[in-house]
Amino acid sequence: VLVLVRSPLPRLRALLQRCWGRLERGLWPGIFGGQSPLWGPALAVQGPALVPQGIGDAVAPSLPESVVWMAAPKQRRTIEVNRCRRRNPSKLIEIKRNIDVCPECGNLKQKHVLCGYCYAKVKEETRLIRMEIYKKEAGPFNAPTVETVVLYEGEKPTEKDEGKRIIERARKRPSWFVQN
Amino acid sequence: SGAAWARGLLSWARPERWLPCGSVLPLSCIHTSTFLQKIGKWEKKNRIVYPPQLPGEPRRPAEIYHCRREIKYSKDKMWYLAKLIKGMSIDQALAQLEFSDKKGAKVIKEVLLEAQEMAVRKHNVEFKSNLHIAESQTGRGRYVKRLRCHGKGMFGMMKISRCHYFVKLVEGPPPPPEPPRTGFDQAKEYVQQLRSRTLVHTL
């Protein structure tokens, strides 16, 4: 009969390594003179409580085992339940009651917001005025220190516009751009 | 064999096949549109022709069916907009869609304007404001699966979803909304149900 005999040397080595490690970390001070640990009470019992087990054995649970305590749905949600959730009145879009008609152009606008069409109109005109300004200035850092006045076709600068810079625009004055 | 080869060559080198469809040559290319897989059912609904109405009958309101296919948007998100404008007049619907922040709102607005234009031009509708939305539905378009790369070499499959949008405009003012069911109505229905019970399997 063949008997397998395992050599005790590696086990002994592992044990000695563990003991030495615990000693170095100060977890096993009871070795020195057989006294109780310096921080423990005098009546503390020396026993297995001072030699905490399982320090080296403690290993974080690997992924396949940690799945046990993750939240997961138990049953498939039926389409009826799904519909109740998706079509709940809180999820439906509310109809807006703050839409009015712009008195200037007749497009729709929201009550607390400027009319989009009129704003676009003004933006376009401003862009053309700015182009005239850039043509006049001819380069950066040439902005004058005086005010600017925009004059349209057939308008003369008044005595109030004495020292101001004049920008000419080659069109009729728009009705919404009031002079002065 | 030489003649057959020449005939084969000539049959291959037909000049009218090389020109694009819709060109001047009258003999070839009867179909001027591109090859559609299928004309959808919704588009075919516009083709039905009713027999002329008798003098005493009430006037049948005009119905206009319009749709847009393969919109790059989710059908569930589009459904909320379709539910919003169901049963509204066309002006109110356009107003609501104009100030909605959703991507599908712009698309639906274009569809409604197209349908309104079609109604006035082809379907004998007198006033373009005299239309209301009888039905508005969404459908699932063709989905495409694509790879989405995450960190650490992980990947997931995502689906790029598209949807269709269908709308039916009917001439006339919108129907009044249904009054909500009160407890009294429910009680009445219950009593009616109890009263209509009969004995089964008896004489």
Indicate whether A17 belongs to any domain.
Answer: no
* pLDDT band per the 50, 70, 90 thresholds, residue B21: very low
Q: Are strands B63-71 and B163-171 parallel, antiparallel or unpaired?
A: antiparallel
Q: CB within 8 A of B144, min separation 6: which ones?
A: B159, B160
Residue ranges per structural domain of chain B: 61-172
DSSP B166-185: EEEEEESSPPPPPPPPPHHH
Query: For the segment B56-80, what is each residue's pLDDT rounded down to a tens digit?
Result: 999 999 999 999 999 999 999 999 9
- Burial code of B164-200, b = ≥16 C-beta within 10 A, e = fewer? bbbbbbbbeebeeeeeeeeeeeeeeeeeeeeeeeeee
Per-residue pLDDT at B38: 86
CA-nearest of B46, B49, B48, B50 to B64 is: B46
pLDDT value for B22: 46
Which fold would CATH assign to domain B61-172? Ribosomal Protein L22; Chain A (3.90.470)
Instruction: Collapse the DSSP code of B153 into the 3-class scheme (helix H, G, I; strand E, B; otherwise coil) and give the result.
Output: helix
Determine how β-strand A165-168 pairs with β-strand A148-151.
Answer: parallel
Residue B81 and residue B112 in contact, taking contact as beta carbons nearer than 8 Å: no
Where is A13: in which H helix or E strand? Answer: helix A9-24
Above 0.90 for ipTM, yes or no?
A: no
A160 vs A163: CA distance, rounded Å: 8
pLDDT (0 to 100) of residue A161: 87
B113 at the A interface (CB within 8 A)? no
The whole-number average pLDDT for the span B29-38 is 63
Does residue B27 register a pLDDT over 60? no
Contact B88, B136 (CB under 8 A): no
What pLDDT sits at residue A60?
A: 55
Whether A73 is in a domain gets the answer: no
Q: Which residue has the tokens 């179909």?
A: B31
Written as tens digits, the pLDDT of chain A (180 aa) is 666 656 777 788 888 888 888 877 776 665 555 555 555 555 655 555 555 555 555 555 565 666 678 999 999 999 999 999 999 999 999 999 999 999 999 999 999 999 999 999 999 999 999 999 999 999 899 999 999 999 999 989 999 888 999 999 999 999 999 987
Q: Residue A121 belongs to what domain range?
A: 108-168
DSSP-derived secondary structure for B49-111: -PPPPPTTSPPPPPEEEEEEEEESS-HHHHHHHHHHHTT-BHHHHHHHHHT--SHHHHHHHHH
Which of B96, B97, B154 is most worth mutating to test chain A (most A CB atoms within 10 A of its CB)? Answer: B96
Mean pLDDT value across residues B156-165: 96
How many structural domains comprise chain A? 1
Q: What is the mean pLDDT of chain B?
A: 88
What is the structure's pLDDT at B28?
55
Subunit contact A96:B80, Cβ cutoff 8 A: no
Interface membership of B89 toward A (CB under 8 Å): no
- Over residues B188-203, the pLDDT tens digits come to 999 999 999 999 999 8
Mean pLDDT along residues B168-176: 96
Which of A 98-117 lie inside 8 A of B, CB atoms?
99, 108, 110
**B95 and chain A in contact, CB less than 8 A:** yes
Residue A9: inside a domain, yes or no?
no
User: What is the distance of C-alpha B191 from the center of its chain?
Assistant: 42
**Rounded to the nearest 5 degrees, what angle is found at the Cα of A99, between the Cα atoms of A96 and A100?**
160
The per-residue pLDDT for B195 is 96
Distance from CA of A87 to the nearest CA of B (A): 9
Q: Nearest chain B Cα to A83, which residue? A: B76
Judged by CB atoms closer than 8 Å, whether chains meet at A92 and B84 is answered as: yes
CA distances from B194 to A56, B198, B203 (A): 76, 9, 20
Residue A147 in domain: yes
List the one residue out of B140, B137, B139, B141 whose CA is nearest residue B168.
B137
- The SS3 call for residue A48 is helix
Give me the mean pLDDT over the B132-138 stretch. Answer: 96
